[in-house]
Structure formats: C-alpha cells, structure tokens
C-alpha cells in the first residue's frame, strides 16, 4: 500500500464533521511551497510546516462553524 493510499484511508475513516489531520515527516521546504501553491488560499486544506514535518488539516465541519458563530455573537454583545 502506498503512502498516499494510507493517508487517504486514514483521513476518510473518520466521522464527518471531525477535523482531519495528516502528518508527513521529512518534507523538504520546496515541496511544502509546491503544495501550498496547489491549494492557494482555499479553506479546504490548511498546510503547516514545522522543522520539516508537514501537517495537512481539513476544516472541522458545520457544527464547529455554527458554534464559532454563536460564540462570536456573544463576544460582540
């Protein structure tokens, strides 16, 4: 099983609405920049590089956004 297949299997096995994270070790900075250019500023995926470890995260879902909005309204009041 390839690494990409393992990543896809790990991320799709979680319940909907749950944040999904994948950590890939030993990723060169140039590869991180290439991936960042592919995704751009879309919210679908967030990339983080810490000392050569690439973390790929997906949004947490509608429930998270609903709670965030409600808290925002309370804080503005």
Q: How far, in Å, CA of 5 to CA of 43, rounded?
A: 23
pLDDT tens-place string over residues 18-38:
667 888 888 899 999 988 888
Rounded to whole angstroms, how far apart are CA atoms 59 and 46? 8
Q: What is the pTM of this model?
A: 0.54
Q: CB count, 10 Å around CB of 4?
A: 8
Domain count, the chain: 1
Residue range 40-75, pLDDT digits in tens: 776 678 888 988 888 888 776 777 778 888 888 888
Structural domain boundaries, residue 58:
3-76
């Amino acid at each position: 099983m390839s690494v990409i297949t393992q990543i896809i299997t790990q991320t799709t096995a979680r319940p909907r609405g749950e944040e999904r994270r994948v950590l890939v070790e030993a990723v060169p900075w140039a590869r991180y920049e290439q991936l960042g250019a592919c995704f751009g500023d879309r919210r679908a995926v967030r990339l983080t590089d810490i000392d050569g470890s690439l973390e790929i995260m997906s949004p947490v879902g509608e429930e998270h956004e609903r709670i965030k909005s409600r808290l925002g309204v309370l804080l503005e009041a």
